[in-house]
Structure 1
Amino acid sequence: MKIAVLGLNHGFTLAQQAKKMTGITLAAVAGNNASAKERAKELDVPLYADYKKLIDDCSLDGVIITLPNHLHKEAVKYCADKGLHCLVEKPIADTTVAAQEMIDYCREKQVQLLVGHHRRYSAKINHLKHLLDSKVIGDLIGVNMIWALAKDHDYYKEAWRVKAGGGPLLINGIHDLDNLLYVTGLKIESVYAVGKNKIRSAEVEDTVTAILEAKDGTVIHYFLTDGVPSPWSYEFNLKENPIYHSYEEDCYYFFGTKGSLAFPSFRCYQYSEEAYGWKHPLIERRYLPEDTVDPIAAELAHFEEVLKGRIGPRVPGEAGLRTLEVLEAIKLSIREKRSVALQEVISK
């Protein structure tokens, strides 16, 4: 299967993995800065400054799109016009309206649309989902999620990251929200959030706290910031990407009627039936997963199977849209300083 990668920030990681695979040929990449030139040289593939020319010139089976969020719709439509299946990096788009257009367009053109929520392929995430589905901690009552770290100063030199369509909610928070929806199966009904730009004074938020309410009564607290030194985040705690330092900490906590579970340590705290309640000691167990999986490698292996027509997308456009709806409700709540019902942002 011949593919191309459009965008060489996160796309570089995907391109590197594609080069290792026997069933995929990386035909070309697109990028238009000095870093892209260096990375294309390292990959030993042609570099196009204009991704549309790449699509026009190359014979391809599929395309991986890792361009800035606001360019996803245009790129997906251009590829779909050529009959090319697309793996588009999360978030699926910068707005739910654009996401729905992409889904409808790909359906019309009869091409597959996958969303790059690669953490759904993580062995640890899937083990977490299994434990929650198995009611190890009983009925879910609440969730506490933290994503707090400090990115390098140079990261913000790319203007789109500090303007509308960028920001840590869309770039990073979308991962945590998708993890939440995937492992719990919750249907979020309403959101109240506060966002601030106290750290950088940019157009977009650098700190957010959000309260989410699910249809079944479960409540979720989510805190996010990309400008404070901290060891509590998925990247730092899961050890799935070697470019990050790792810390033996937890970033998610799940509270149920029969116990509480920390992630990714999988420490579970419960009482026995004979000694239940705060006057008794908690019993600690660990429900560690047996397997480890490189989520990026697993995602690309899945994309290969989709390109060959053997299976449908594991994370279709509709799944990416559901996650984006929650995020858009958070952003609307921040702007209007009020509680927002998900129904207000759901695309019809």
Structure 2
Amino acid sequence: MKAAWMTNAPDRISLAVIGAGQMGRQHAALITGQKACSLAAICDVNPTACSVADHFGVSFYRTLPELLERERIHGAIIATPNAEHAREAVHCLQQGVPVLIEKPIADTLEAARQIIDASDATKTAVLVGHHRRHNPLVRQAHAILQSDTVGPLVGVSVLWTLCKPDEYYQQAWRCIPPAGGPTLINLIHDLDSLRYWCGDISEVFAHTSSATRQLEVEDSLSITLRFENGALGSIFASDTTPAPWSYEATTGENPTYDHVSENCYHFCGVRGSLAFPQLTTWSYPEGSPRGWQHPLAHRQWTARTADPLSLQLEHFCQVIQQQETPLSDAYDASRSLATALAVLESASQGRPISIKQP
């Protein structure tokens, strides 16, 4: 149901940001740059975060209940540590306030289920920040894969290989499993993208290694995937190798990463294949014979350039006004969390793991 003040759409959507860390500050900056919304407040348990609120010229609160009592907001963006997502999201939802939750939706499936149940009970929207789904490159690849160009999917191969700087792991939480390793920090994005492109994953089998960094968390992974539609997949991931084949480096989405014109995903179908993010498809010309002795034709597709985080924020405003449904709702995002947790469970137990329902 709509909050009382949403009976008539406001001129500007009033938003609060919960958590003033790196992502919280980024969300706050994006809000202030949008015409459709405005920043009402910042909330963080750390009193020094009041400087962030001062920077943006908005109110600062140490607790979420106090913020919700005093501020008249239309939505909240939750950018706190994963273990705090459920408590804060449920509190907002119970007040009829839609939420955008940074990925992953929570740290456990039990916590994710609390968010799903609260959203269902209050009929209040949850959008989870799997922002890559908003990238026009990703949307174009989705359209190609859903068309007859590639045909029924046979399999997909993924590389996520890069070298994180040594200072990255000077933050202690990044060295502590399960939240600190690349599976839940990075690969949950790729697993969610694969689900968006190819359909749900039914089973994973993973091996991990910490041989290079010698930390508690993994630095390299090898994952095999089985999709519900019968397609197969593989991921090799490592954050400790000088290599250009990662979503971040190849798409140019994040200017922090050095951009290279390479591919990191290869999709193989019955009718053709797709290399991403260059968006090149390969197939036999219509009416031509098929077989390895015959030449393949290729086609270059294009997509517009746009910041997916800004597009996600615009989408959240539309969701708040009930003009769009969440591109990644609580249940859908919980499936991505379940897949990532299954990867860690498989590596720990040394056997294939079926994906649990949230």
1:155 equivalenced with 2:168 (yes/no):
yes
Match of 2:302 in 1: 288
CA shift for structure 1 position 218: 0.7
TM-superposed CA distance for 1:221, in Å, is 0.3
TM-superposition CA deviations, 1:75-100 (whole Å, max 9, x none): 11222233321100111111222111
The match for 1:44 is 57
Instruction: Give me the TM-score of the superposition, normalised by structure 1.
Output: 0.91
For residues 133 and 337 of structure 1, the distance between their equivalents in structure 2, rounded to whole angstroms, comes to 34
Q: 1:152 to 1:12 in 2, by over 3 A?
A: farther
In structure 2, the residue matched to 1:317 is 330
Partner of 1:6: 18
1:259 aligns with 2:272: yes
Q: How many positions carry a matched residue from both structures?
A: 343
State the Cα deviation string for residues 164-189 of structure 1 (Å, max 9, x = none).
333211111111111111112x2322
Would the alpha carbon gap of residues 46 and 33 (structure 1) be closer, same or farther in structure 2, given more than 3 Å must change?
A: same
**230, 236, 241: which is aligned to 2:243?**
230
Give me the whole-angstrom Cα distance separating, in 2, the residues matched to 1:32 and 1:157.
Answer: 22
- In 2, distance between residues paired with 1:10 and 1:331? 25
User: Is 1:71 matched up with 2:84?
Assistant: yes
- The 1:37–1:237 alpha-carbon spacing in structure 2 relative to 1, beyond 3 Å, is farther
Task: Please say which of residues 278-287 and 332-341 is displaced more in the overlay.
Answer: 278-287
1:207 deviates by 1.5
User: Which residue in the other structure is 2:195 paired with?
Assistant: 181
Q: Which amino acid aligns with 2:324?
A: I
What letter is aligned with 2:36? G
Using the alignment, how far apart are the partners of 2:43 and 2:36 within structure 1? 21
Matched, 1:301 2:346: no
Listed as ranges, the gaps of 5+ residues in structure 1 are: none
Q: Are the counterparts in 2 of residues 68 and 160 from structure 1 also a CA contact under 8 Å? A: no
What amino acid does structure 2 have at the position aligned with 1:264? P
1:213 to 226, 251, 255: 226
The AA in structure 2 aligned to 1:4 is: A
2:167, 2:234 → 1: CA distance?
30
Match of 1:248 among 261, 271, 281: 261
User: Which residue does the alignment assign to 1:108?
Assistant: 121
Give identity over the alignment, percent: 35
Matches within 5 A, 1:87-126: 87-126=100-139
1:145, distance to aligned residue in structure 2 (A): 1.0
C-alpha spacing 1:204/1:49, structure 2 compared with 1 (3 Å): farther
Query: What are the Cα deviations for residues 50-80 of structure 1, in whole angstroms up to 9, with x where unaligned?
Result: 5554444433221101111111112112222
Query: Shift of residue 320 of structure 1?
Result: 0.3
CA–CA distance in structure 1, aligned partners of residues 47 and 298 of structure 2: 52
User: Counterpart in 1 of 2:8?
Assistant: none
Is the contact made by 2:94 and 2:118 (CA closer than 8 Å) also made in structure 1?
Answer: no
Q: Distance in 1 between matches of 2:121 and 2:47?
A: 37
One-letter amino acid of the structure 2 residue matched with residue 258 of structure 1: R
Give the Å deviation of 1:254.
0.3
Q: Which residue of 2 aligns with 1:346?
A: 357
Among 251, 269, 281, the alignment partner of 2:282 is 269
Contact conserved, 1:69 with 1:166, CA < 8 A, in 2? no
User: Are 2:157 and 2:233, in contact at CA under 8 Å, matched by a contact in 1?
Assistant: yes
Report the TM-score, using the length of structure 2 for normalisation. Answer: 0.88
What is the SS of the residue equivalent to 2:192?
Answer: helix
Does 1:167 find its partner at 2:181?
Answer: yes
Q: 1:50 to 1:156 in 2, by over 3 A?
A: farther
How many Å separate the matches in 1 of 2:189 and 2:210? 21
**What is the alpha-carbon distance in structure 2 between the residues aligned to residue 77 and residue 259 of structure 1?**
45
- Unaligned runs of at least 5 residues, structure 2: 1-12
Encode CA deviations 1:85-144: one digit per residue, 9 max, x unaligned.
Answer: 110011111122211111102222332111111111111111111111112122211101
Q: Which one-letter code corresponds to 1:221 in the other structure?
A: S
What is the Cα-based RMSD across aligned positions, in Å? Answer: 2.2
